[in-house]
Amino acid sequence: MIETKFDAAWMLNAAADGELDAMSLASFERHCAGDPALAARYAQMRALRGAMRGASANLRAPDDLRARIAAMAAGESAAPQSDSVAAMRRRPRFPMAAAVALSLAAGGIAERLFSDFVSAKADRVAMLIIDDHRRAMLASSPIDVASDDRHTVKPWFDAKLALSPPVVDLAAKGYALAGGRADVVDGAAVPSLVYRLREHFISVTALPAARFSGIAARAEANGYAATAWRDGAFEYVAVSDLPRSDLEAFAAAFRAGAEAGEAR
């Protein structure tokens, strides 16, 4: 399980970074009004941000570098002209390329070890997803994009994650689409659909099956239940505080809806 740690320094940074939702920001600003030391730190953070962004705005790729890269696209030689100063200090390209290739190969091995590890710990992924759902429920809004229209939710995932699962319309079955959320599971950003049944939320997280496979079919933690199934390119995990039987009924409706093509 993930330890969730909140403290003042995180809050201060998240506020300065615009990462707080409106409710949290309002409460933070109220604290600042009654605490001059906190307000001074907040002003420092914002000033530091401003200074760094100002400095980085002036950093642009030099023209000669841009020209060399543009030449690559045109299929011309990427090597700079031999009489340029840049060429004299430029190191041979080959060892670098070889090193990159090597590190990519090593990365591939690490990736395989990693996925073995994940499948050996099938429960772990389900637990991470339950944690994501819990965190979302603790935030003032459990969704990043609020819409009951799948034609809004799907393009949002496309743009945000370059990965979008079928969005099944289950309104007729009593499950209203509340919106979508991007979760991070084991370092991968994945889409979660959020449905609502009465006052309960149900998150359906779609994991690329190529990376996540063999997720525990059932998991439970802290009053939340999870159920997982595989469909095409995705492993789905649904999480809710609904009773297990209601959650399974939802999962069955979702699968049936996806099969019947009530998805876009």
Partner 1 sequence: MSETSQQLFREVVLSNLDSAYRLARGLTGNSADADDVVQEACLRALKGIDGFAGGNAKAWLLTITRNAAFTFMARNRSRMLVLEGDQEEAGRALEDTPDPGATPEAGLIAKTDAAALEAALASLPQPFREIIILREYNDLSYKEIAEMTRLPIGTVMSRLARARGQLLRALAPEMAGRAAS
Binding site for partner 1 (CB under 8 A): 2-5, 7-10, 12-14, 17, 19, 37, 40-41, 43-56, 58-62, 65-66, 68-70, 72-75, 78, 86, 89-91, 93, 95-97, 99-100, 103-104, 107, 158-163, 182, 184, 186-189
Which tokens is 212 given?
A: 């996540």
Q: Name the minimum Å distance from CB 2 to partner 1.
A: 7
Q: Name the minimum Å distance from CB 102 to partner 1.
A: 8
Q: Name the minimum Å distance from CB 55 to partner 1.
A: 4
- Cβ pair 212, 118 in contact under 8 A: yes
Q: Name the minimum Å distance from CB 74 to partner 1.
A: 7
**Interstrand relation of 200-208 and 188-197 (parallel, antiparallel or unpaired):** antiparallel
Q: Closest CB to partner 1 among 127 and 242?
A: 127
Q: Name the minimum Å distance from CB 61 to partner 1.
A: 4
Q: Write out the H or E segment, with its range, that includes residue 77.
A: none
CA-CA-CA-CA torsion for 198, 257, 248, 171, nearest 10 degrees? 0
Q: Closest CB to partner 1 among 81 and 243?
A: 81
- Residues 6 or more apart whose CB falls under 8 angstroms from that of 88 comprise none
Measured between alpha carbons, how far is 146 from 142 in angstroms, rounded to an integer? 9
Q: Name the minimum Å distance from CB 185 to partner 1.
A: 10
Q: Which residues pair with 236 in a beta bridge?
A: 206, 229
- Cβ pair 133, 203 in contact under 8 A: yes
**C-alpha angle 9/31/8, rounded to 5°?**
15
Q: Closest CB to partner 1 among 12 and 204?
A: 12
Q: Closest CB to partner 1 among 4 and 82?
A: 4
Q: Is residue 204 classed as helix, strand or coil in its secondary structure?
A: strand
Q: Name the minimum Å distance from CB 13 to partner 1.
A: 5
- The closest alpha carbon to 212, from 184, 231, 234, 227, belongs to 234
Q: Closest CB to partner 1 among 187 and 261?
A: 187
Measured between alpha carbons, how far is 67 from 83 in angstroms, rounded to an integer? 16
Q: Closest CB to partner 1 among 35 and 220?
A: 35
Q: Closest CB to partner 1 among 101 and 171?
A: 101
